[in-house]
Structure 1
Amino acid sequence: MHGRKSSNSKEDKAKLEKVKELVHLGNNLIKKKNEKTYDKKYIESTSVILRKCPYLETLWNFRKEYFEFVQNVGTPVGDVGKGDEEADCAKHPPSEDLKTLMKNENTMVEEIVSKFNKCNELWFHKLWIIKFCLKNDLMDFSDLMNELEFCKSALYRDDRNYHCWNYRSYIIACVHIYLKSGKHGKAQNGEAQIAKGSSDERDPASTQHGNQFDVHKSNYELSKTLIERNFSNFSAWFLKYTIHESLISTENELDLIKNAIFTDPFDQSLWEFYRWFLFQKGNDKEEIFFTLLQNNCVYFFFQNLVMANLSKSKCYDENGKEITGEWGQHFVPPNNPQDSFESYVYFFKITDKHILLSDQPTCLKFCIFYYKYNLYEPEEVHYEKNVLSDLMVCHDFLREENKYEHNIVYLIDFRKFSQNEHFKILLDYDTLSRGDAKMDSKSSCLNTFTPLYKYINRSNILLNTAKHINFASLNLELENINELLLLERNCKFALFTKLEILRRLEQFDELFHLLELLKLVDSIRVEYYKDLETELRIQKKIHEYYEDSEMGDKGALDLSGLNIDSITYPFMIEAFFIPSINLSSNLISESYNGKCTINFLYNLKELNLNHNKIKSLVVLMKNLYNLKLLEKLDVSSNALANLDEDLDNYSFVLLPNLKQINISDSNLSALLNQRYKHKSVLNTYNVMQDGWRVILSKG
């Protein structure tokens, strides 16, 4: 090629002949596998090929079948006729020869891994060896510890080897399986051992080390060592996500992160961990956002969708006596409640006659059970979800019931509820201090709802800030980032982290300047920053509404013309106590997913949605089904319906207090002015026409 003669050297010809021999040998071995001919000489031949080319999964499978054949040769006659699962459960005294075979197999794999450390087939065969040995009692605790040491040495050689990281996580799971099986076996065999007058002598060293094994400490030491060797290691930083609080010093961690980001401010993995450490660490469990009281019904608001176990949740009085009542939820979506297993809002309606007759109780304790998979608890191994599921065969003790279940114990002092009309909010200021000065429950503003807004807003900020971080800490970190930006003024990671800190500190003026800078230095994500700007403008408007001493309790929140296209819970929930909201001249559509925040603003009385993108009044009303206090709705200058809509069979969700719906300048009003001009009632509403204006009215 390109004017050069192909090489005819003897060395190249010899290599080609060797390849031909290996291909012929490989084909012959595959034939023997298909014939289920398990002869030791064939297995030894596979090792010759696999040492040179470990990517041949068929040959690895041949070796697996051979070891299983060797293990099954000693199957007792009485077990031959058993079913597959029972046969798998049969326990035979482990053969020393088989133990040696598996140990040699593991050693061979480790030798090949040293040359082919990114070979997926190798790592999964190594995991198969561990699983095979566990199922057949061919290894003890020290062998599993040796595997963790092997992983450590492999990661020292290549700290970005995701095959090794993945394998290590499986070994951690295997350690927990081994420890659980040991406890189970001890409990099951205790009576038999006592009857025989003997003690359990099985691997006392393993039992001792097993009691001392701490996955958090193991993860901490490995991550610490790898990060000290190389700051730029996302996997090592990610390992820190699961480390127990007791092993972490906030001050030391922040110093380590500071050194790392000043060393390489453009390494994204450092900033990802930094933001997690500031804003998310410790927030892996669900917490109650805020609590409302209306009549004898207590509403619990969460920030995320929560799957609660209402059948198990309970309410108790201050003496520990169970209070009878009805649990319920705000369905998402409401038109199909039997499939709505999650919700943002749950409520408990007190029906206990003793409590009702004695007016309000002083205190109640709620135990709310919910289900959640927790990524940050490595000791909770979910075997059925990964490649270790076959280890559960005949090991029912691994099948833990309700292992995803957690519970919240929540105390309510009814003396701390606000005294406003309708929905009253629980103002438990002690829970919102977190090392800062306590919140001031008093306000000089004429708006009596300002303290209630501040409470919800503060709760929202704290639930989006790590447990160990307070506002003083955020200000200190802000100073460090400003110091870095003096050196690297266009570092987008530093700018975005600064934005997140300023957002929690509610420094709006500087936020908008920062957004403009981010649009320039991170132009790929300019549309994201535009959406974020819209959100911040809404937050600022709500903040200003409550701080405006002239507004009082009756003014409208003006959010018109902000290019808002969606409002998803919990965004804008701080507007809960505002009676009137103007969302006209935006881009809001009625696409229904049950998560529109407006439907959670229970106190809303007037809503203006004119000049938006609403195509169906029917779907919109599903989005607003929970606004029981809403009196006026303006949806003029929207489509609202198709021009071929059948108004004789037209219906939408009815709200109990909604007296007026403005549908002017819409397809719906056009139909009522033309094809259905004789129609005076639409879905129980009187059709009021005055020129171009069309109002649906009651009363």
Structure 2
Amino acid sequence: MHGQKKTDKSEAVKEKERKQKEAKLKEYRDGMAQIATRREAKLLDWDTMGVISDVLRVNPDVYTLWNLRKEIILLLLSDDSNNEEPVKLGENELRLTESCLKINPKSYGAWHHRKWILENCPGLDLKIELALCTKYLKLDSRNFHCWDYRRFVVSMLDLSPEEELSYTLVKIEEDFSNYSSWHYRSKLLPLIHGDPTGQKPIEEEIHLQELDLVQNAAFTDPNDSSAWYYLRWLVGELQPKLDVILAFVSREDKKLFVGFNRNASLDRVRIECSAASRWRTVESFEDGSLWFADLNDVSMDELVVNVSLQSHEKSISLTEKEGFFWQASPQFDPTISEKMKAVLEEQLDSCNQLLDLEPDTKWPLLTSVVFMKAIDSYAYRDDIMKRLESLKKCDRYRINYYNDLMNKYLIEARLLNSPADGSSSLANLNLESLHHSQYLSPAVDIDLSHNRLGKSLPKIVHAVSCKHLNLDSNCLKSLKNLPRLSKLESISLADNEFDSLDDLLSDLDGFTSLSRLFFRSWCEVVLVSHVAFAFAM
């Protein structure tokens, strides 16, 4: 390990280790049995505490023992006949946890017990605890248990955030890859240098200093994730969040549909229409991107829909003359200011410089994709796709994640250029996942051919207006997950991988409006080629 040649242990050493393990195991089992007996007999006293201490020193990760110990301590503290002072009792407990942490420095039970002692045994010296944290973090600067405990002690001591901020800088300068230090820094900076305008997490001058700091770290070790996560926080907090925006409103027969650019709940938006009742999502979830309600009066030739959003209110008038339909231009990214754009372009340039030196480095590749998407996803589309392809090669464990991002960006580009003619095409994109499917809702003709959408068939539930659906060449083996679309009249399924025609027809059972099926596939007995099947109504 780490370049050290492994040496085989002698038989004598192996035998000695085996006997030691057996002795510890026997000690542990005997102790647990004795504790169980004493607990059953309700002997919650100092002798039981001693047995628990012995077992915890063998295995400090038994939560039950720590909890039993807390129970006994509370009894002792409430007992007037007990001469043990809370401070002395607490100091004994802290010594026990310290000996347990020598066995396992990341023992959840030991750290939680230590914290509990400080809360329940007042008078303990908290400065000693802070010094202990400093000592432990010198041994292992990435021990997040110790970082959490340190923040707890600091809060009890009521130390100034400035002191802790200086400490985080010391730890970062010792090791740029100390993720906990970067994270702690992101919590402290807004407390000390908060932006008075409230538009940024920290004031501009300090923000620029932090960008210099994190860029130095990133250039020192481009493969380390810690600095890149912090950079994403610094820049990401400056970007405006994407608001929930009204995407379209339409009437279909006896239902009124309201679509948004992303998932929304009725806690965040309010939809009002005098002719509609009981709003719900098409997927029956508490939040969703497509909401609908039944219409009380379907003879109306005009519908007025009022939608109250966090950012604004919108009143839409649907008329029969316009086909009871209103749609806004799709919006997938928040609008950024020129100043923010300049910051992002500067950071993108830094990423590009680093990639010129090391072109196959994961974090600058991924971060540059995020920056390009925020600046102008349409203008940078080709560059984004090339870098996602590079990421799939240099980070094979996350190929599915990068494929999903590519699917999402391809769909967004196609939707932004969709014609307003009642059709929607996401064909020939080699998609595996279906994002923004709520934008399929108004379309009558939907072409999803030449993709691989087998696992995403449930998302087609949003296609509430669809009459003609093309699923050719999608590597489909079954249609069991295809939602029942009430208006669907025809579906094309050429060049898929169905096992048999009977199974296919069984999957389509229940599509009461379906009248035509176009199908071509090798079956066990026959080859059916572009035949139109008429279903009995």
TM range (shorter): 0.5 to 0.7
CA distance in 2, matches of 1:351, 1:221: 65
The corresponding residue for 2:447 is 582
The corresponding residue for 1:70 is 76
**1:610 aligns with one of 440, 448, 472:** 472
Q: Which structure exhibits the higher relative contact order, with contacts defined as CA atoms closer than 8 Å and separated by 6 or more residues? A: 1
The corresponding residue for 2:277 is 326
* Aligned partner letter, 1:423: F
- C-alpha contact (below 8 Å) 1:300/1:345 kept by paired residues: yes
Q: CA deviation at 1:261?
A: 0.5
CA distance in 2, matches of 1:664, 1:38: 75
> RMSD value over aligned CA atoms?
5.7
Q: CA deviation at 1:288?
A: 1.4
TM-score (norm 1): 0.55
Partner SS state of residue 478, structure 1: helix
Alignment of structure 1 residues 508-519 onto 2, 5 Å? 508-519=381-392
Structure 1 unmatched ranges of 5 or more: 76-94, 176-205, 318-322, 367-407, 427-451, 547-551, 674-690
The corresponding residue for 1:462 is 334
Partner SS state of residue 664, structure 1: strand
Q: CA deviation at 1:565?
A: 3.3
- C-alpha contact (below 8 Å) 1:609/1:636 kept by paired residues: yes
Q: State whether structure 2 residue 165 is matched by structure 1 residue 264.
A: no
Residues 574 and 647 (structure 1), Cα distance of their counterparts in 2 relative to 1, 3 Å cut: closer
- C-alpha contact (below 8 Å) 1:315/1:324 kept by paired residues: no
CA distance in 2, matches of 1:558, 1:650: 23
- C-alpha contact (below 8 Å) 1:611/1:635 kept by paired residues: yes
Q: CA deviation at 1:509?
A: 2.8
The corresponding residue for 2:326 is 424
Q: State whether structure 2 residue 244 is matched by structure 1 residue 288.
A: yes
CA distance in 1, matches of 2:185, 2:122: 29
The corresponding residue for 1:159 is 141
Q: CA deviation at 1:599?
A: 3.8
Alignment of structure 1 residues 459-498 onto 2, 5 Å? 459-462=331-334, 470-498=340-368
The corresponding residue for 1:346 is 291
After superposition, give the CA deviation of every residue in 1:387-409 in whole Å (9 maximum; x if it has no partner).
xxxxxxxxxxxxxxxxxxxxx74
* Aligned partner letter, 1:272: Y
The corresponding residue for 1:564 is 431
CA distance in 2, matches of 1:540, 1:559: 10
Residues 562 and 71 (structure 1), Cα distance of their counterparts in 2 relative to 1, 3 Å cut: same
Partner SS state of residue 356, structure 2: helix
The corresponding residue for 2:90 is 103
- The structure number with the bigger radius of gyration is 1
Alignment of structure 1 residues 140-539 onto 2, 5 Å? 151=133, 154-155=136-137, 157-167=139-149, 223=168, 226-239=171-184, 246=195, 248-249=202-203, 250-279=207-236, 287-294=243-250, 297=256, 299-301=258-260, 303-304=262-263, 308=266, 326-332=277-283, 337=284, 340-347=285-292, 360=304, 366=308, 409=310, 411-414=312-315, 421-425=323-327, 452=329, 456=330, 459-462=331-334, 470-504=340-374, 505=376, 506=378, 507-522=380-395, 529=402, 533=406, 536-539=409-412
- C-alpha contact (below 8 Å) 2:422/2:445 kept by paired residues: yes
* Aligned partner letter, 2:382: D
* Aligned partner letter, 1:303: R
* Aligned partner letter, 2:262: Q
- C-alpha contact (below 8 Å) 1:30/1:59 kept by paired residues: no
Partner SS state of residue 290, structure 2: strand
After superposition, give the CA deviation of every residue in 1:146-201 in whole Å (9 maximum; x if it has no partner).
867764664355321133245457779x97xxxxxxxxxxxxxxxxxxxxxxxxxx
The corresponding residue for 1:685 is none
Partner SS state of residue 651, structure 1: coil
* Aligned partner letter, 1:100: V
TM-score (norm 2): 0.68
CA distance in 2, matches of 1:475, 1:171: 41
* Aligned partner letter, 1:268: S
- C-alpha contact (below 8 Å) 2:441/2:465 kept by paired residues: yes
The number of residues matched between the two structures is 498
After superposition, give the CA deviation of every residue in 1:125-151 in whole Å (9 maximum; x if it has no partner).
3134246x1xxxx538x9889867764
Partner SS state of residue 620, structure 1: coil
